[in-house]
Amino acid sequence: MLRLIGFAAGTLTTLAFVPQVVRTWRTRSATDISFGMLLAFNLGVALWLVYGLGLRAVPIIVANGATLALALILLVLKIADRARQRGAGTAGGR
């Protein structure tokens, strides 16, 4: 029963992240997302993944592996957005 609860919790928390990734991907804008939050979130999820691997807890491994993949995509989009904004700011000021 606890394993089922773990899978349900992991599924819901991972799926909750999908709309933000899709929106950021479509708009190509991550301006309103905090870079610090993304770094902390990615590190936290990576640590949860390591913890799950240590316990050999499949629900923790699956949920955090999927969430880390989504969070890393969002982090890459944020970095690209920052670079694009800096480039546009520099070109616009000339």
pLDDT in tens, 1-48: 888 898 898 889 889 889 998 999 899 888 889 999 999 999 999 999
Nearest CA-CA partner of 36 in 82, 87, 89, 88:
82
Whether residue 91 is contained in a domain is answered as no
Q: What's this model's pTM, rounded to 2 decimal places?
A: 0.81
Interval 36-93: pLDDT, tens = 999 999 999 999 999 999 999 999 999 999 999 999 999 999 999 999 988 887 554 4
Two tokens at 36?
């610090």
Does the residue 7 lie in any domain?
A: yes
CATH number at residue 31: 1.20.1280.290
Expressed as residue numbers, the domain containing 9 is: 2-83
Q: To the nearest 5 percent, what fractions of the chain are helix, strand and coil?
A: 85, 0, 15
